[in-house]
Amino acid sequence: MNLLKFKNRTAPNPVDNSNNGKWKSNNGKTHLPPVEIFIDEIVESTCMLIADDGKLVYPRILEALEKGRLVRLSFRNVDHMVAGFIMEAIFALHKKFKETTIAEQLELVDISENYQRYIETILEQAKRARKMTRK
């Protein structure tokens, strides 16, 4: 099961000016354009993303999601990341939002297929571990 959306970059379809800068998505819904968060603009080094880097990225994602905005999290220039980064930046969102909300509103972009699988694996393991501790 995919917990997140991984997207190739495509420009949204602009709606005429009468919609105050809103955009029309592929499913026909009109909304504000996504908030783009670039990891390489937040953390000092992208050659190794660690848990503390995730703590820097998390509040930016949280703020946008709390406002009901779509979020595009860009992994451009990221060379390596550890599970702690994923836990602090992405999995921590499960404390505030339902899994479906995260899956619908958070897109990971500029990311290799290997890292897509890695992130999905970490999130699945964390989800299973959380269920086990609740039992």
For residue 25, being part of any structural domain is answered with: no
For residue 87, being part of any structural domain is answered with: yes
For residue 12, being part of any structural domain is answered with: no
What is the value of pTM for the model shown? 0.78
For residue 88, being part of any structural domain is answered with: yes
Q: What percent of the chain has pLDDT over 90?
A: 67
For residue 89, being part of any structural domain is answered with: yes
For residue 44, being part of any structural domain is answered with: yes
Q: Which domain holds residue 51?
A: 34-134
For residue 6, being part of any structural domain is answered with: no
| Residue-averaged pLDDT of the chain | 84
4-56: per-residue pLDDT in tens? 656 555 444 444 444 455 555 555 666 688 999 999 999 988 899 999 999 99
Q: What total number of domains does the chain contain?
A: 1
For residue 9, being part of any structural domain is answered with: no
The C-alpha atoms of residue 101 and residue 1 are separated, in whole angstroms, by: 15
Higher pLDDT, 62 or 135: 62
Q: Of 50, 64, 119, which is closest to residue 96 (Cα–Cα)?
A: 64
pLDDT at 111: 93
The C-alpha atoms of residue 66 and residue 63 are separated, in whole angstroms, by: 5
Higher pLDDT, 46 or 117: 117
